[in-house]
Amino acid sequence: MLCSKYAEKPQVFEIVESGAGMMEGSGNAARAGHGIKVAAILGPTAVGKSATAVELALALGAEIVSVDSMQVYRGMDIGTAKPSSELRSLVPHHMVDVADPGEEFSVSRFQEEARRAVEDIAARGRLPLLVGGSGLYFEAVVFDLRFPPGSQADDLRKDIERWAEEDPEGLRRSLCEVDPAFAQREEFANMRRVVRAMEVYRRTGQPMSSFHSRRGTQEPYFHFAGVVLDAPRQALYRAIERRVDEMMQAGLLKEVRALAAAGALSRTARQALGYKEILAHLDRGTPLEETISEIKRRSRRYAKRQLTWFRRVPGLSWFKLSESELYERPPQAWPLVREMLERELSGVG
């Protein structure tokens, strides 16, 4: 193996603070959040988080901070199931419509801006309420996670991409020297990942592997209490399929066509559920019926991954809704969710 000589004696790098949105890990990480308490309503797609969260926010004197990786994009409304204008008029929502769809919006940028929103809400005596289904984005806010800076389409990136084309083994060899730990991972076989790892090192002076933390070992950045909304699996799947049909009826195809015509979708935005499949319909002529079936299939798989992710987050409570409650906005059980959240908040910090 190309990097075998580094496997036995890995180099040690000093980790220093560098770059926007990056934080050095610390056993006293929660102090960085100034003792702020945050609440959270989390869960899979189509479980009714938005309507439940608005009722809770009104009852608890809270403002909502979205932890959804795609609701940050302006113009991507139907497919991301953004809260309606009516709901947003009732309670302030943060981290929604904060970027153009042509931008690459990184998790490190999200972390920085969302934490700023949390601190501003708390400074005004309100309760920050995190709401969404993107597990990584939730963890980026409440845990002491460190992320490399986002990729940039500049001369540095182009130089490394050219290097990868002209001398891929030379690039791998050089990466071995500066980041032997990364070279031991499966990602090392993926040249795109190799390019990204070298880009991170060249921008920060830190190896890509230094930004990875084993989940469950991170210190909290904010004290938090969170409830995950769940439902029987097949009932949830039926709700997801119904939601996809409602999105199509609401004009998702028209929305995606307009964004595509404007040339306004970044690589990240193009991967969003629903948008990716409809773009394939528009670009390659995939039949619409097949496209809708694929959106439903991918949405079901995504919901399963969301639930798996949240089960691995320490400190969350779970609340199971009945199938009928999946179609109530908000579900009648929301006062019980409120009681659970208030009980959890009283024991936090």
Over the stretch 11-70, which tens digit does the pLDDT of each residue have? 333 333 333 333 334 444 545 566 899 999 999 999 999 999 999 999 999 999 999 999
CATH no. for residue 309? 3.40.50.300
Q: Does 175 share its domain with 265?
A: no
How many domains, in total, are found in the chain?
Answer: 3
3-state secondary structure 230-269: ECCHHHHHHHHHHHHHHHHHHCHHHHHHHHHHCCCCCCCH
Whether residue 123 is predicted with pLDDT greater than 60 in this model: the reply is yes
Q: Does 193 share its domain with 281?
A: no
Q: Does 172 share its domain with 137?
A: no
Q: Does 317 share its domain with 334?
A: yes
What strands lie across the sheet with 62-66, from one edge to the other? 93-94, 62-66, 127-132, 37-42, 223-230, 316-320
| Domain boundaries, position 160 | 149-211
How much of the chain exceeds pLDDT 70, in percent? 88
For residues 263 and 257, what is the distance between their CA atoms, to the nearest angstrom? 10
Q: Does 95 share its domain with 229?
A: yes
Q: How far is CA 192 from CA 38, 46, 79, 348, in A?
A: 37, 33, 28, 42
For residues 208 and 170, what is the distance between their CA atoms, to the nearest angstrom? 18
Q: Does 156 share its domain with 184?
A: yes
Q: Does 114 share its domain with 180?
A: no
Q: Which two tokens stand for residue 170?
A: 């030379």
Segment 155-183 shows an average pLDDT of 92
DSSP 8-class letter at 73:
B
Q: Does 207 share its domain with 83?
A: no
Q: Is residue 17 part of a domain?
A: no
Q: Does 130 share its domain with 84?
A: yes
Q: Is residue 331 part of a domain?
A: yes
pTM of the model: 0.81
Q: Does 169 share its domain with 284?
A: no
For residues 138 and 127, what is the distance between their CA atoms, to the nearest angstrom? 16
